[in-house]
Amino acid sequence: MGSNQNKSAYQQIDLSAAKNTDSKSISKVRDKRKQFPSIDELTQGILKGDKTALSRAITMVESTNRDHLQMANTIIENCLALKKESIRLGITGVPGVGKSTLIETLGKKLTALGNKVAVLAVDPTSTKSKGSILGDKTRMQELVKDSNAFIRPSPSGDTLGGVARKTRETIILCEAAGYNIVLIETVGVGQSETAVHSMVDFFLLLKLAGAGDELQGIKRGIIEMADALVINKADKENIKQAKKAKIEFTRALQLYPPKESGWIPKVLSCSALEDSGIIEIWGMVMEFINHARTIGTLQTNRSNQNKHWLLQHIDDQIKYDFYQNANISRILPTVINEVTMGKTSPFRAAEKLLEIYRKDG
């Protein structure tokens, strides 16, 4: 009996010890997860092509935390001097035009040729829930498995232009990680879908044949910025309509003034699903890049983009500082209520808030 009691006691001790060991192990794992890599560790990881380090740095760049922002700026500064030049290609078009399918098909061909491809896919953010699906990795099931490809979905947030708030910074980090081709997929075409043009070398506009958007596409200012139009889904019963659309868009492009570089935008057709016409698209992109490098417009364009980046960052920082101001945060709900109740005009209310902000500055 005593022996059994002792045995039971020993078992209890062993179980208790095991529980304590498990608790300590779990605690260590949690502590390790909480330990965020240092700036040097992330920088070195990026330069070595570590996807985990790159993803963590991008998360830091996208964060609204001021401490993260300062760390992200340091990492970007470190990467700027060591980054490799890449070909930056922006791809836009109406939802459902087949952007993700085209990018996956093109991306696989590019990695097969020895390139490292980064895909920055921007998902629309709900104005109500503020959430995004971020499902581009699911749509690009083959490319996501490629060791020479990196896919990063990001929410558009409240940014106009169908690009994420920190897409420019993310491009720098991807280039530092050794990706020599960066593909940016935007949310979709709209009146403000032009910001992507200010951060890429080549702007590709995808269109659909027979979808009734031919005239709408001509009316939008976005077509003026396109370096090429591609009619996607030119397969099966759509081939005839694709040929017709190609002729119509070619005629439409003749109505626009020539680009400063002398490049004449082209109209191609393809089927991303059937993998036809994709190589021709990349050949056209390289023709443009070589032309722009020869006459110097590629570097001029990059310089102008950096200027735009500077001014945009100033605008973003002023807006951030304004809403972080303690006095503004305190009085803003009252002012908003006065405006919604019709007690004061939005213009007078804005002047009042800006006056308070200037005094604090």
Q: What's 235-301 look like in SS3?
A: CHHHHHHHHHHHHHHHHHHCCCCCCCCCCCCEEEECECCCCECHHHHHHHHHHHHHHHHHHCHHHHH
pLDDT of 255: 79
What are the domain boundaries of the chain?
2-60, 83-295, 307-360
pLDDT of 220: 53
For the chain, 361 residues long, give each residue's pLDDT as a single digit of tens: 445 555 454 455 455 555 555 555 555 545 445 567 899 999 999 999 999 999 999 999 888 788 888 899 999 999 988 888 899 999 988 888 899 899 999 999 999 999 999 999 876 543 343 333 344 556 688 899 999 999 998 765 544 444 456 888 999 999 999 999 999 988 665 544 567 788 899 999 998 886 655 545 444 567 788 899 999 999 988 899 999 989 988 888 887 877 888 898 999 999 998 999 999 999 999 999 999 999 999 999 999 999 988 888 898 889 989 999 999 999 999 999 999 999 999 999 999 999 999 998 6
Query: Which pair of structure tokens corresponds to residue 334?
Result: 């009252």
Are 328 and 322 contacting, i.e. CB atoms less than 8 angstroms apart?
yes
Backbone phi, then psi, for 123, in 5-degree steps?
Answer: -100, 145
pLDDT of 261: 84
d(CA 254, CA 229): 13
DSSP 29: H
* Residue 84 burial (CB count, 10 A): 12
**CATH number for domain 83-295, candidates 3.30.720.210, 3.40.630.30, 3.40.50.300, 1.10.150.20:** 3.40.50.300
DSSP 187: S
- Listed in sequence order, the residues at least 6 apart from 69 whose beta carbon sits closer than 8 Å to its beta carbon are 63
pLDDT of 322: 94
- Note the maximum CA span of the chain: 101
Q: Which CATH class is domain 307-360?
A: mainly alpha
pTM: 0.80
Backbone phi, then psi, for 15, in 5-degree steps?
Answer: -65, -40
pLDDT of 174: 96
